[in-house]
Amino acid sequence: MICIITGDIIGSRKIKDSWLLSLKNALKVVSGQHGKWEIFRGDSFQVEVLPEDAIITVAYLKACIRTNKPADVRMGIGIGGIKNKRKKLSESSGEAFINSGAAFDSLKQAKTNLAIKTDFPDFDEEINIMIKLSLIAMDNWGVVAAEMVKLALENENLLQSELAAISGRTQSSVSEALKRARYIEIMDMDRLYRKKLKQMILK
């Protein structure tokens, strides 16, 4: 099983291109050593990650894009098998790609910016409810909140005082930004997602 995330930048034609460098750098980070990612049609992208990393990945991508206000991102998470693995993601095929495309295509109608699709409808229903609740916070991240979430996800083992030293901010402003971003709650969602995914796979 693999995870394919399909996304695009909201309103990209109306905003400066600063988001493009942020997107490229973010895709390099989340795709790791294998580097399986593509940008196509100017503002659309696909990236392959481990299924268990899906939630943390979309949170990181969202944070990176939202540091370029008023840019935002829509993403469809697809989990499933892979049939033909080719050098280019866009030439590969399998359930993960079909599910990712279906999740992405559902976003406009559902009036949301993030959804997941697997071959397990009950799992999808549960996780999508959690995602909708998390978007109440994530869709409202300002630049500072997004920057602090990005920094915290890049340095998960650091204390807030250490994040403050890196960012040049006070510890209280780092703490306040992460609180506004609902960072702890999003990490809780990530842990619950990993647990539910493991249970689904073991069934």
pLDDT at 200: 86
Render each residue's pLDDT in the chain as its tens digit; 203 residues. Answer: 999 999 999 988 888 888 999 999 999 999 987 779 999 988 999 999 999 999 999 999 999 999 998 899 999 999 998 886 666 776 677 899 999 999 999 999 999 999 999 999 999 999 999 999 999 999 999 999 999 999 999 999 999 999 999 999 999 999 999 999 999 999 999 999 999 999 988 76
Radius of gyration for the alpha carbons in the chain, expressed in angstroms and rounded: 16
Give the position of tokens 């050593």: 33
Phi and psi at residue 115, in whole multiples of 5°? -155, 160
Distance CA 53, CA 29 (A): 12
pLDDT at 15: 83
**Contact yes or no for 71/33 (Cβ under 8 A):** no
Locate 177 and state its tokens. 């930004």
CA torsion sign for 187, 122, 111, 2 is positive
Locate 132 and state its tokens. 């909708």
pLDDT at 41: 85
Distances (CA, A) of 202 to 82, 195, 198, 199: 19, 11, 6, 5
